[in-house]
A and B are shown apart, each in its own frame.
Chain A
Amino acid sequence: MAHDRALPSDAGVPDRSELGAPLVVLDKVNKHFGALHVLQDIDLTVHRGEVVVVIGPSGSGKSTLCRSINRLETIDTGTITIDGVPVPAEGKALARMRADVGMVFQSFNLFAHKTVLENVTLGPIKAKGLKKSEAKALAMQLLERVGVANQADKLPAQLSGGQQQRVAIARALAMKPKVMLFDEPTSALDPEMINEVLDVMVSLAAEGMTMIVVTHEMGFARKAAHRVVFMDGGQVVEEAEPETFFTTPESERAQDFLSKILTH
């Protein structure tokens, strides 16, 4: 499969100098799954407005890293702070924090019994207390933006994978998050639908959204990312600007990984 695909919309070359203060900070984060040490002393700082692509072989811990940021996975030791506030353990405080962190899943996870519109309005109404009419207006605006407004009254199962994932992005954006997490957002999509999702992500990045993206889409990384973080065996092995990383990776493991995915 071609990973270095051309992206139609032009986001311009990301410039690190525009970045703001640290927003998501992981400090010495460790996690075990039984005997498997899946996150090993992870330090990672993501600045406001920064787009970080996390890449690595399967089982490297990149998804776990992404999911630990909004505590869908708990961590054993270390700290994770978002906007200076440590991620709360449980309860209402955690729910409030999650409202500020958008998440897009590999398998979309749209609410199967609710229409597309209801999927997007549920969070703003229940978690933020928006009026139904306000939530609906906001949702329609976001659905318009991701190009699925004409599907608003359908159930998720009636949509294509690409459309579902764009609805999922709209659902996350409806909470006006400080940061967006993408956990392999295009891995479950048919090839012809990948670009329609990446286009939305590129335009989000161009607008200055802070994004942490676990993906193998190198075209996206080159186009929109400020930084690539390469993980292997539960460790951050290498961090670099996308162009540097893809052309002249330093570590042997990154070279090995890139040679494997670039041969086809």
Chain B
Amino acid sequence: MDVLVDNMPSYWAGFQVTLRLTLYSGAISLALGLVLAALRVSPIRPLRGLAATYVELLRNTPLTLVFFFMILVAPQFGIIAPLGFWTAVICLSTYTAAFVAEAVRSGINSVGVGQAEASRAIGLTFGQSLGNVILPQALRSVVPPMINVFIALTKNTSVAAGFAVVELVGSGRRISQGNPGDAVVVLLGVALFYLAITIPLGAIASTVERKVAFSR
């Protein structure tokens, strides 16, 4: 157990990087995912096609490949993405946005078509109808799948360890290299730090779910 206490500063540094990766990528993917979901249900067909293509492409590609693409292929198109924290955020956000978009879209579809018709019938534009009537009602059914997406994101940040970002897994690897006899304990320590992010996420989810509940 001493190995955990002795290496707490390393763990703490790695945890902070993981937490920042999760928060930044979570916020960006939430914004991007909402836009994608809105495009997916928009009345303009090319926009629907664009969003659908994005979602299918990104959610069917392994995250590791997305990282490789950004680091090896994108520079050939003039997009320079050096190894590091922000490149990892970009990869995680673009990847996770596809899943956010699908969660939001399923929520939008769960709201009865009559709600959209009624809001259009009183003269609301597509955006107003989405923002004032559809999304607030979709929220309730979107929260549980969305939390799944963010829990998956938290764990996916570990992929960045393979691309020169020293987050939790990266720290764990370094610690275990220095303490080869205690590898199991070191990795258990890494797992506990992940739980420190994902368990509160679940708690937030049930609070939000209760808050947005209303009877239909």
Contact = CB atoms under 8 A, between A and B. Distances in A.
Contacts of A102: 121
B122 A98 contact: yes
Contact of B137 (A72, A112, A171): A112
A171 B121 CA distance: 10
Interface string A76-100: 0000000000000011100111111
A97 B120 CA distance: 10
B122 A92 contact: no
Nearest to A98: B123
Nearest to A110: B118
A111 B214 CA distance: 11
B125 A105 contact: no
B43 A95 contact: no
Contact of B122 (A90, A113, A155, A175): A175
Contacts of A70: 121
B123 to A, nearest CB: 3
B123 A112 contact: no
Interface residues of B, number: 21
B56 interface: no
Interface stretch (A12-20, A43-51, A121-129, A245-253): A121-129
A90 B120 CA distance: 11
Contacts of B121: 70, 72, 98, 101-103, 105, 172
Q: Chain A contact residues (Cβ within 8 angstroms of B): what range?
A: 20 to 34
Interface in B101-134: 112, 114-115, 117-125, 128, 132-133
A211 to B, nearest CB: 15
Interface in B171-216: 214-216
Nearest to A100: B123
A107 B128 contact: no
Given A90-B43, A126-B128, A112 B214 contact: yes
A97 B123 CA distance: 7
A175 B123 contact: yes
A160 interface: no
A157 interface: yes
A101 B120 CA distance: 11
Nearest to B118: A109
Contact of A105 (B118, B123, B128, B214): B118
B123 A72 contact: no
B75 interface: no
Nearest to B215: A157
A157 B123 contact: no
A126 B132 contact: yes
Interface string A121-143: 01100111000000000000000
B63 to A, nearest CB: 35
B216 A127 contact: no
B136 interface: yes
B128 A155 contact: no
A172 B120 CA distance: 11
A155 B136 CA distance: 15
Nearest to A92: B125
A98 B118 CA distance: 10
5 contacts: A72-B117, A92-B125, A103-B121, A112-B137, A112-B216
Interface of A: 70, 72, 90-92, 95-103, 105, 107, 109-113, 122-123, 126-128, 155, 157-158, 168, 171-172, 174-175
Given A98-B123, A123-B123, 10 more contacts: A95-B120, A95-B124, A98-B120, A99-B122, A102-B121, A103-B118, A105-B117, A126-B124, A127-B124, A127-B125
User: What are the 10 closest A-B residue pairs judged by CB atoms, nearest first?
Assistant: A99-B123, A123-B122, A127-B123, A109-B118, A109-B114, A103-B121, A157-B215, A112-B216, A95-B125, A98-B123
